[in-house]
């Protein structure tokens, strides 16, 4: 059983602990990394021994956070997990060290309460928003490093305050971090205005395949294996690409057909809400959410496109107002 | 001579006025339109007759603002200009009606003080940030419509809080507007996640021409007339496209060569600050800012590319640390 704790409760636990291992989730993003470095620095300011680890390598774009936490070697006595909804998301490399987790700080509604103590706020746009409140409860003064780490999480998980999870509290927290010295313009440039050449080549190639169907209400694009190879792109570089077709004016459903292996396709669907993507993808054995879903298909590319287009078209006729 | 007024001074002027024409600048953007609708609604709530006009058509993406201000027919007795730094930016259609401007509210440091009374705050990220303070000084309670209009300006002029002009005050103002009911998620989707098919086709075609030079320190792409025609794109749809090449990892200078007429090119240059774009473009008779500049070129496409690449390469060798 996990005990639910408040920010004050989490702060009491942390003040009583030392030689802490703070863990970010595998395949780390800006929120889990920002939360670890913000909390890590706050604890080091309190004189605690702290080490930050992640089962996977932390991407180089977050290098600016490393100066905030001194590297320290010691035998961990307690583990704190940040932004980790379930034990298996800790990842393989650290799973043995993280059998017992003292405290989990998280904003996922799906948190599995695997830690001895859990602080979850599903209304927070980012775990960093909660970590900022814990640091306040710890009585540590925010400095530029803590502020930059917290801001990294806020901006990452909200698409720079664009997504609907952004609340007035998120924006006020960002304002405070900016006042505490976070280099917001530089962080935004790193997070949102830097792309790899491979990603641009993939976008260019995929957009060239764009087709509009059903009077422009469906947009479909393909990402063949050949394009991935010629652009020298890895899977990571496809992140978010499936949202492109649905961003076109007037398009109600955007489809992306990605060739995973010859004759095997992954289909992603995004909608403006007027068509239920999850229901459409269920027709091909997939599923997801009303505005974002997916399924798989075996056959030729033309068969894959015809199958999904047929189902989407039918749904448009049935579901449109 | 223009008198400088405070928010309170502007509010006094507005309370004493009626039958107001509120004017947005020509080629309207989200800030000038948002400011006009926010102020227009506040004045109508105070019982004033207000009309909003713009020399150019207001783009359809701002249609959601129109419900906030009742259409009223009357002979204007006073003109208020919002986000208009200079008289000629009012545009041709309204220039005769705007010979005398009672009040100008603006955030451009370059404001020419052409109005009888001027309220300028060059530290404000958006004119809407100042208009929000004026509405507060007027004592009008913010409702969903005013909040949505103000938020539109804040988000527009900061690239959704990404650009370096974003201050803690901007973020706090956005937080307040969100609390007053602004539909931030919907507005963000309209402003930042909706693109035209023509724009995507232009991006795809331009990115296909991408070349990396000088060990990947220079990225260059071209937008030929033929691409504009085949994509059925207008000039407006090229907005911001010149920033793409400089966003590639490791690129210090991004160059976009746009064919304006056969044999006539417009060259745009963006840098990460390590090369002075303005100085480079001056070598071809152009100019601009250190990180964003441009010039023109007559000749063949290959000549244009060779000329600018040569100058940028030389600058890289001289200016790099």
At A26-35, the pLDDT tens digits run 999 999 999 9
Neighboring chain A residues of B291 at a CB cutoff of 8 Å: none
Q: How far apart are CA A206 and CA B201, in angstroms?
A: 11
Neighbours of B186 (CB within 10 A): 12
A246-274 pLDDT per residue, tens? 999 999 999 999 999 999 999 999 999 89
Any B CB within 8 A of A213 CB: no
Query: In this predicted structure, what is the pLDDT of residue A223?
Result: 96
Whether residues A207 and B212 touch (CB distance < 8 A) is answered with no
Any A CB within 8 A of B176 CB: yes
Give all strands of the β-sheet with B117-120 in edge-to-edge order: B3-4, B117-120, B103-106, B78-82, B20-24, B50-54
Query: In this predicted structure, what is the pLDDT of residue B101?
Result: 98
Helix ranges (DSSP H) in B223-300:
225-231, 277-282
The beta-carbon neighbor of B160 closest among A161, A212, A248 is: A161
Instruction: Name the residue among A270, A202, A255 with its Cα closest to residue A232.
Output: A202
Helix ranges (DSSP H) in B215-263:
225-231
Any A CB within 8 A of B174 CB: yes
Distance, C-alpha A119 to centroid of its chain? 19
Q: Is the pLDDT of residue A320 over 60?
A: no
Domain ranges of chain A: 3-192, 197-319
The beta-carbon neighbor of B194 closest among A171, A200, A249 is: A249
In the DSSP assignment, the letter for residue A195 is B
Residue of A247, A252, A256 to mutate, testing the B interface (most B Cβ within 10 Å of its Cβ): A247
Whether residues B179 and A194 touch (CB distance < 8 A) is answered with no
Would you state the structure tokens that stand for residue A210, as one six-digit string? 């764009």
Q: How confident is the model at residue B318 (pLDDT cuts 50, 70, 90)?
A: confident
- For residue B211, the distance in angstroms to the closest alpha carbon of chain A comes to 10
- For residue B179, the distance in angstroms to the closest alpha carbon of chain A comes to 6
Q: How far apart are CA B135 and CA B128, in angstroms?
A: 10
Q: Count of A–B CB contacts within 8 Å?
A: 116
- For residue B275, the distance in angstroms to the closest alpha carbon of chain A comes to 17
Whether residues A248 and B216 touch (CB distance < 8 A) is answered with no
Distances (CA, A) of B249 to A99, A197, B99, B119, B193: 39, 7, 49, 41, 23
Q: How far apart are CA B188 and CA B203, in angstroms?
A: 21
Neighboring chain B residues of A204 at a CB cutoff of 8 Å: 203-205, 207-208, 210
Any A CB within 8 A of B284 CB: no
Mean of the pLDDT values across residues B129-143?
A: 98
* Nearest residue in B to A206, CA atom: B204
Whether residues B196 and A169 touch (CB distance < 8 A) is answered with no
Q: Is the pLDDT of residue B67 over 60?
A: yes
Distance, C-alpha A223 to centroid of its chain? 22
Q: How confident is the model at residue A239 (pLDDT cuts 50, 70, 90)?
A: confident
ipTM of the complex: 0.89
Neighboring chain A residues of B167 at a CB cutoff of 8 Å: 178
The beta-carbon neighbor of B175 closest among A168, A179, A193 is: A168
Q: How far apart are CA B279 and CA A72, in angstroms?
A: 47
Mean of the pLDDT values across residues B2-25?
A: 97
- For residue A281, the distance in angstroms to the closest alpha carbon of chain B comes to 23
Which fold, B3-192?
A: inorganic pyrophosphatase (n-terminal core) (3.90.1640)
Any A CB within 8 A of B160 CB: yes
Mean pLDDT over the full length of chain A: 95
- For residue A66, the distance in angstroms to the closest alpha carbon of chain B comes to 20
Any A CB within 8 A of B234 CB: no
Would you state the structure tokens that stand for residue B121, as one six-digit string? 């705050």
* Region for B89 from its dihedrals, namely left if φ exceeds 0, alpha if ψ lies in -120 to 50, beta otherwise: alpha
Query: In this predicted structure, what is the pLDDT of residue B234?
Result: 85
Q: Is the pLDDT of residue B90 over 80?
A: yes
- For residue B194, the distance in angstroms to the closest alpha carbon of chain A comes to 5
Q: Is the pLDDT of residue A182 over 90?
A: yes
Q: How far apart are CA A5 and CA A71, in angstroms?
A: 29
Whether residues A168 and B185 touch (CB distance < 8 A) is answered with no
Neighboring chain A residues of B200 at a CB cutoff of 8 Å: 207, 210, 244, 248
Mean of the pLDDT values across residues A178-195?
A: 94
Would you state the structure tokens that stand for residue A221, as one six-digit string? 């694009």
Strand partners, A265: A259, A297
Higher pLDDT, A284 or B290: A284
Any B CB within 8 A of A164 CB: yes
- Establish whether domains A3-192 and A197-319 are of one fold: no
Mean of the pLDDT values across residues A121-145?
A: 98
Mean of the pLDDT values across residues B35-54?
A: 98
Any B CB within 8 A of A112 CB: no
Whether residues A197 and B247 touch (CB distance < 8 A) is answered with no
Any A CB within 8 A of B183 CB: no
Any A CB within 8 A of B247 CB: yes
- For residue A200, the distance in angstroms to the closest alpha carbon of chain B comes to 7
Instruction: Name the residue among A183, A161, A236, A192 with its Cα closest to residue A65.
Output: A183
Mean of the pLDDT values across residues B155-183?
A: 96
Q: How confident is the model at residue B1 (pLDDT cuts 50, 70, 90)?
A: confident
Q: Is the pLDDT of residue B321 over 70?
A: no
Q: Is the pLDDT of residue A186 over 90?
A: yes
Q: How confident is the model at residue B244 (pLDDT cuts 50, 70, 90)?
A: very high
Q: Is the pLDDT of residue A321 over 60?
A: no
Any A CB within 8 A of B201 CB: yes
A256, containing H or E segment: strand A253-261
The beta-carbon neighbor of B208 closest among A163, A171, A208 is: A208
Mean of the pLDDT values across residues A72-76?
A: 95
A197-319 CATH, one of 3.10.310.30, 3.40.50.12160, 3.40.50.2020, 3.40.50.300: 3.10.310.30
Strand partners, A221: A256
Any A CB within 8 A of B212 CB: yes
Q: How confident is the model at residue A238 (pLDDT cuts 50, 70, 90)?
A: confident
Backbone angles phi, psi at B184, to 5 degrees: -60, -40
Residue of A61, A125, A168 to mutate, testing the B interface (most B Cβ within 10 Å of its Cβ): A168
* Contact indicator for B132, B31 with CB cutoff of 8 Å: no
Q: Is the pLDDT of residue B238 over 90?
A: no
Neighboring chain A residues of B175 at a CB cutoff of 8 Å: 168-169, 171-172, 175
Q: Is the pLDDT of residue A152 over 70?
A: yes
* Nearest residue in A to B181, CA atom: A168
* Contact indicator for A204, A241 with CB cutoff of 8 Å: no
Whether residues B161 and A160 touch (CB distance < 8 A) is answered with yes
Whether residues B200 and A207 touch (CB distance < 8 A) is answered with yes
* Contact indicator for B286, B267 with CB cutoff of 8 Å: yes
Q: Is the pLDDT of residue A1 over 80?
A: no
Q: How far apart are CA A119 and CA A134, in angstroms?
A: 10
State the pTM of this model: 0.90
Strand partners, B23: B53, B81
Whether residues B216 and A197 touch (CB distance < 8 A) is answered with yes
B259-313 pLDDT per residue, tens? 999 999 999 999 998 999 999 999 999 998 888 999 999 999 999 999 999 999 9
* Nearest residue in A to B272, CA atom: A189
Mean of the pLDDT values across residues B98-118?
A: 96
């Amino acid at each position: 059983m996990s005990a639910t704790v408040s920010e004050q409760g989490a702060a009491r636990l942390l003040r009583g602990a030392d030689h802490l291992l703070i863990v970010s989730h595998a395949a780390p993003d800006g929120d889990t990394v920002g939360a670890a470095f913000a909390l890590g620095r706050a604890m080091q300011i309190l004189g605690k021994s702290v080490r930050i680890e992640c089962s996977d390598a932390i991407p180089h774009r977050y290098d600016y956070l490393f100066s905030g936490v001194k590297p320290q070697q010691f035998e961990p006595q307690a583990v704190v997990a940040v932004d980790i909804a379930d034990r298996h998301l800790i990842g393989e490399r650290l799973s043995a060290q993280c059998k017992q987790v003292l405290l989990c700080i998280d904003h996922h509604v799906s948190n599995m309460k695997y830690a001895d103590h859990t602080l979850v706020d599903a209304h927070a746009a980012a775990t960093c928003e909660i970590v900022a409140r814990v640091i306040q409860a710890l009585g540590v003064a925010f400095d530029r490093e803590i502020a930059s780490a917290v801001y990294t999480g806020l901006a990452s998980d909200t698409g720079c305050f664009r997504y609907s999870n952004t609340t007035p509290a998120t924006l006020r927290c960002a304002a405070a971090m900016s006042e505490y010295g976070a280099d917001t313009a530089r962080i935004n440039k790193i997070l949102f205005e830097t792309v790899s050449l491979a990603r641009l080549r993939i976008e260019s190639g995929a957009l060239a395949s764009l087709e509009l169907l059903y009077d422009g209400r469906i947009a479909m694009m393909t990402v063949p294996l050949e394009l991935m190879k010629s652009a020298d792109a890895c899977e990571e570089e496809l992140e978010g690409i499936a949202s492109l077709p649905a961003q076109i004016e007037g398009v109600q459903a955007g489809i992306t057909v990605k060739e995973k292996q010859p004759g095997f396709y992954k289909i992603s669907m995004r909608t403006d809400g007027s068509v239920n993507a999850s229901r459409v993808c269920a027709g091909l054995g997939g599923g997801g959410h009303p505005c974002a879903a997916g399924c798989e298909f075996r056959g030729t590319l033309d068969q894959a496109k015809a199958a999904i287009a047929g189902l989407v078209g039918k749904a448009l006729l049935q579901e449109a107002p």
